[in-house]
Amino acid sequence: MKSVLRYVMLMGLGLLQQSAHAAPSDPQTVIKARNPKGAMGMQDVMFMKSAGASQLIKLQKVGSAMDFWTENLPAISQIAYVNDLPLLINAGDKIDLDLKRIPFKDGVLDHYVIPDLSKVASRVSLPYRIDSILNISRKKFSTMSFAAFSNWYADRVKQVNQLIKKTAALNESNTALLNAFMQMRKLNLRVAYLDSSKATDLPADTKQWLLEGQDLQNENLALISSEMLLSNYVHQLLQVKGKDEANWSYADQCKWMLQNAKADRLKFLFVSHRVLSEFRFKGITPEFAALYPLIRSSFSDKAAIEHMAQLYGDWQKVLPGKPAKNFALKDDKGNTHQLTDYRGKLVVVDLWATWCGGCVKALPYFLQLADKYKDSTGIVFLNISFDNPDSPEWMDFLKNKKMESYTNLNLPFKNEHEQAIMFRSADYQLIGVPRYMLIDKQGNFHTPYAPSPSEPVFEKLVNEFYQSGK
């Protein structure tokens, strides 16, 4: 599931990344790095490709010894991440990094390496040093009273401010960016403290305390390149905002986020992630259809607007009554099955995978229902496994589970396979498994997003589908 979802997410974010590049005349930022001998070296760099989106690159080492690489970054002030370490980078920076290994406690060296920041400008390493000041274990949080935590945090903020004050060559935009970084870390720490704390002296209104100083109008939040950290921050913020709310639905969260966040990147990260998550299980719901005009009108970035329109348009192809595209998949005996082979029959589909725990858990319920209809000629149950057909896992699974008597089809788990591409495209919008579908006698979607067979409502839905005879 993760790899399928990641594929779609990267495709979606790619459109926004094209929205604003640094002008050719802008000074380029250059990062050079050398790996320690024998280490695998740099894993990845997350940086801002534009003011609207970030990009993760997996660095390719060059040279016979694989010990040196150079990467040119766009000319944008930002907090970039090098092997998960934050660096404050300005346009035109020329950064030369030596990499060092991380030793384990027992003295064994890991192959994972981090930049040696002792030789770079103090401004560049400032976010990392701030993180170091704020570093604390959850175990310590669990023993802290609220007063002790407040004193600890006040002391750490004082240290951070002193560090910023004595750091040379900071401009106003750098200071504003660091304030946004501290805003994010403040919420992270307070949420972590409350999650771990056993204190009895907590404030009466912890929600107000958590939201203190949190400003989604701060556009500098969008210049923190790590999508994971930003998404986690937004998720925490929404959880806090919804605390003690009688109703805090998906629609409520969307409205609040779109009305309060200023930077398109924050809105886009939230909406694209939540939209994909919502669509994955339900498709276009009436709730989302009602929200869509607000979503479109909330973005100023043309590429973001076009991307949301494309997403919405694509999912409209997978609605009840829309034709399901014909597929051609081989079964466990080597025979090819097409959807058109079942024209005139009701088709119940289970898209699953041997590597998906939820799929495997629900599979027996699907097979039990198929058994109830085994003597019915007007309905067919298809088990479509999203597995690598060249590996033995799928066939071994079918044999071990005694599934040879069922209709077992294989959707190749290969990005380049034409059938896999079709299922991931707008034709089926497969962005994760498990996925259950009902297709009518005419080959149209009846229920493109059915509930899990483990839920009683699934059998009720299939029974009504069968009795309708459509």
Q: Where are the alpha helices (DSSP H) in 298-403?
A: 302-315, 357-372, 393-400
**What is the pTM for the complete model shown?**
0.74
Closest C-alpha among 385, 375, 373 to residue 419:
385
pLDDT in tens, 213-235: 999 999 999 999 888 899 899 99
Q: Compute the distance between CA of residue 191 and CA of residue 41 in angstroms, rounded to an integer.
A: 34
Strands 94-103 and 29-34: parallel
Chain CA centroid to CA 242, Å: 21
Q: Containing domain of residue 190, as a range?
A: 132-315
Q: Which residues face 334 on adjacent strands?
A: none
Do 173 and 292 belong to one domain? yes
| Proportion of the chain above pLDDT 90, given as a percent | 57
Would you state the pLDDT for residue 53?
54
Residue 321 is assigned to a structural domain of this protein: no
Residue 269 has pLDDT above 50, yes or no: yes
Number of separate domains in the chain: 3
Burial class (CB in 10 A: 0-12, 13-18, 19+), 72: exposed
Average pLDDT, the chain: 84
Closest C-alpha among 233, 219, 249 to residue 184:
233
- Residue 217 to residues 100, 236, 295, 304, Cα–Cα distance (Å): 38, 17, 17, 18
Do 159 and 207 belong to one domain? yes
Considering Cα of 194, then 198, then 203, then 207, what sign does the dihedral take?
Answer: positive
Residue 203 has pLDDT above 60, yes or no: yes
Would you state the pLDDT for residue 304?
79
Q: Compute the distance between CA of residue 177 and CA of residue 170 in angstroms, rounded to an integer.
A: 11
Model confidence band, residue 9 (pLDDT cutoffs 50, 70, 90) = very low
- Residue 466 to residues 165, 182, 336, 375, 460, Cα–Cα distance (Å): 72, 58, 25, 13, 10
Do 143 and 292 belong to one domain? yes
Residue 38 is assigned to a structural domain of this protein: yes
Of 74-83, 126-135, 202-211, the one with minimum mean pLDDT is 74-83
Would you state the pLDDT for residue 144?
96
Would you state the pLDDT for residue 457?
98
Tell me the helix, strand and coil percentages in the chain, rounded to 5: 45, 20, 35
Give the three-class secondary structure for 211. Answer: helix
Tell me how crowded residue 240 is: count the other CB atoms within 10 A of its CB.
19
Q: Compute the distance between CA of residue 362 and CA of residue 357 in angstroms, rounded to an integer.
A: 9
Average of pLDDT values for 169-188?
96
Do 116 and 138 belong to one domain? no
Residue 106 has pLDDT above 80, yes or no: no
Give the three-class secondary structure for 160. Answer: helix
pLDDT in tens, 111-120: 456 777 877 8
31: tokens are 């990062």
Residue 455 is assigned to a structural domain of this protein: yes
Do 72 and 179 belong to one domain? no
Average of pLDDT values for 133-150?
95
Would you state the pLDDT for residue 50?
60
Do 183 and 285 belong to one domain? yes
Average of pLDDT values for 361-380?
97
Do 199 and 308 belong to one domain? yes
Would you state the pLDDT for residue 126?
96
Closest C-alpha among 227, 189, 219 to residue 81:
227
Average of pLDDT values for 87-106?
77
Residue 8 is assigned to a structural domain of this protein: no
Would you state the pLDDT for residue 2?
34
Of 25-29, 140-144, 382-386, 425-429, the one with minimum mean pLDDT is 25-29
pLDDT in tens, 338-356: 999 999 999 999 999 999 9
Residue 16 is assigned to a structural domain of this protein: no
Q: Compute the distance between CA of residue 31 and CA of residue 42 in angstroms, rounded to an integer.
A: 12
Closest C-alpha among 390, 332, 384 to residue 353:
384
pLDDT in tens, 299-323: 888 887 888 888 889 889 999 999 9
Q: Where are the alpha helices (DSSP H) in 144-282?
A: 146-166, 172-196, 206-211, 227-241, 250-260, 264-282
461: tokens are 């839905």
Residue 323 is assigned to a structural domain of this protein: no
Model confidence band, residue 449 (pLDDT cutoffs 50, 70, 90) = very high
**Better pLDDT: 349 or 52:** 349
Do 103 and 172 belong to one domain? no
pLDDT in tens, 13-26: 322 332 333 333 45
Q: Compute the distance between CA of residue 313 and CA of residue 117 in angstroms, rounded to an integer.
A: 47
Model confidence band, residue 42 (pLDDT cutoffs 50, 70, 90) = low
pLDDT in tens, 57-82: 554 444 444 455 666 777 788 998 88
End-to-end CA distance of the chain: 32
Do 140 and 284 belong to one domain? yes
Do 244 and 300 belong to one domain? yes
Chain CA centroid to CA 371, Å: 38
Do 286 and 354 belong to one domain? no
DSSP string computed for 268-289: HHHHHHHHHHHHHHHSS-HHHH
Residue 105 has pLDDT above 70, yes or no: no
Q: Please confirm whether the linkage preceding 434 is cis (ω < 30° from 0).
A: yes
Of 155-164, 269-278, 434-443, the one with minimum mean pLDDT is 269-278
DSSP string computed for 225-243: --HHHHHHHHHHHHHHHTT
Of 1-10, 201-210, 317-326, 390-399, the one with minimum mean pLDDT is 1-10
Model confidence band, residue 250 (pLDDT cutoffs 50, 70, 90) = confident
Do 344 and 384 belong to one domain? yes
Q: Compute the distance between CA of residue 48 and CA of residue 16 in angstroms, rounded to an integer.
A: 12
